[in-house]
């Protein structure tokens, strides 16, 4: 399972979804789905924009977690 750390990163930097959307041009709904971890697909361009804006790497934004059932 892919875990998105956007909500944690936004909390650390005290950012709102509207701030990121306004400053990056990324659709608010896309950011909301990433924030709530309900996104099923994301354009690579969006990932790149988020990483640039937050000054992080892709590995800091996403993490692969193994499901406990498959361990």
User: How do residues 22-69 score in pLDDT, each as one tens digit?
Assistant: 999 999 999 999 999 999 999 999 999 999 999 999 999 999 998 775
Q: Which of 62, 63, 37, 38 is nearest to 50 (CA)?
A: 62
User: Please, are residues 71 and 14 in contact by the beta-carbon 8 Å criterion?
Assistant: no
How many C-beta neighbours within 10 Å does residue 7 have?
A: 13
Quote the CA–CA distance of 55 and 65 in Å, as a whole number. Answer: 23
Report d(CA 41, CA 39) in Å as an integer: 6
Query: How would residue 11 be classed by pLDDT, with cut points 50, 70 and 90?
Result: very high
d(CA 26, CA 6): 14
The domain made up of 2-62 is a member of CATH 1.10.260.40 = yes
């Amino acid at each position: 399972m892919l875990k998105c750390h956007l909500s944690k990163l936004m909390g650390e930097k005290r950012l709102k979804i509207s701030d990121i959307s306004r400053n990056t041009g990324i659709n608010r709904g896309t950011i909301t789905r990433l924030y709530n971890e309900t996104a099923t697909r994301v354009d690579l361009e969006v990932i790149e924009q988020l990483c640039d804006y937050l000054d992080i790497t892709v590995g800091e934004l996403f993490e692969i977690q193994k499901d406990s059932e498959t361990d």
